[in-house]
Chain A
Amino acid sequence: QVQLVQSGAEVKMPGSSVKVSCKTSGGTFRRNTVSWVRQAPGQGLEWLGRISPYVGTRNYAQKFQGRVTIIADKFSDTAYLELSSLRSEDAATYYCAIDGGFGYFDPWGQGTLVIVSS
């Protein structure tokens, strides 16, 4: 069964960077794409970007271009999201999710809460 397990909550200062991990199991890493989606408290869902680890392609939402980096470690089947120049509006729960090649997301990780506070 496919599972995604994310790293724990983070508290960051404004202007700093955060790196969130997403470890996959079940053999999905090799043939799928991993996307990152965030959700601010009480708000909706927002797609940040995706990576296809074995093809080597990345795509980012225009809004986050220049601030977001998504990488993948094929040896540990883990994807990472790094977001820089954090501001208060970046406080959210960040989810990773498997995109099976079509663009819909199933399954999802449990989410990582990122708090941005001075």
Chain B
Amino acid sequence: EIVLTQSPGTLSLSPGERATLSCRASETINNNYLAWYQQKPGQAPRLLIHGASSRATGVPDRFSGSGSGTDFTLTISRLEPEDFAVFYCQQYGSSPMYTFGQGTRLDIK
């Protein structure tokens, strides 16, 4: 099973700042099949990025994904108040055995 480790656990930033979230895999993710989700309190997760760098429909372009192999990054270029949430990465390269990272909490500073 591929283990995903996200860092940092918590990130405290102010609106307008840039956020960089990391997701590291225990082994290479085939085809860079890595997705990112945003989850707000009391809501289901929402897909942001798939295929490591492809934005899902309707996702603002301040969200971007990058990386390959075992190291992946989600960047939010300029934080808006509605961006603060918990973010999860998920690998689907070893389909159908899907795994998630433990999450990064993005808090308002």
Which residues of chain A have a CB within 8 Å of any CB of chain B?
35, 37, 44-47, 50, 59, 61-62, 95, 97, 102-111
CB under 8 Å from chain A, chain B span 60-100:
88, 90, 92-93, 95-100
For the complex, what is the distance from the CA of A104 to the CA of B90, rounded to whole Å? 8
**Chain A CB within 8 A of B13 CB:** no
Cβ B101 vs Cβ A106 within 8 A:
no
What is the chain A residue whose CB lies nearest that of B35?
A104
Select one of B35, B51, B95, B97 contacting A61, CB under 8 A: B97
Select one of B33, B56, B101 contacting A103, CB under 8 A: B33
Select one of A35, A50, A62, A110 contacting B44, CB under 8 A: A110
Classify the interface of chain B: helix, strand, loop or mixed.
Answer: loop
Select one of B1, B45, B96, B97 contacting A105, CB under 8 A: B45
For the complex, what is the distance from the CA of A44 to the CA of B89, rounded to whole Å? 11
Cβ-Cβ contact count across A and B, 8 Å cutoff: 58
Q: How large is the interface on B (under 10, 10 to 19, 20 to 34, 35 or more residues)?
A: 20 to 34
Give per-residue flags for B25-54: 1 if the beta carbon is below 8 A from chain A beta carbons, else 0. 000000001010100000011110011000
- Minimum CB–CB distance for B40 against chain A, Å: 12
Given contacts A102-B33, A103-B96, contact A45 B47 (CB under 8 A): no
For the complex, what is the distance from the CA of A45 to the CA of B45, rounded to whole Å? 9
Which residues of chain B have a CB within 8 Å of any CB of chain A?
1, 33, 35, 37, 44-47, 50-51, 56, 88, 90, 92-93, 95-103
A-B CB contact pairs (8 Å), 7 listed? A44-B103, A46-B100, A47-B100, A59-B96, A59-B97, A103-B93, A105-B47
Cβ A45 vs Cβ B96 within 8 A:
no
Classify the interface of chain A: helix, strand, loop or mixed.
Answer: strand
7 more contacts with CB within 8 A, not counting A44-B100, A103-B93, A104-B92, are: A45-B45, A47-B99, A62-B1, A97-B44, A103-B35, A106-B56, A107-B47
Cβ A44 vs Cβ B44 within 8 A:
no
Cβ A50 vs Cβ B92 within 8 A:
no
Of all A-B residue pairs in the complex, the 3 with the closest CB atoms, nearest first, are A103-B92, A108-B44, A106-B47
Cβ B95 vs Cβ A103 within 8 A:
yes
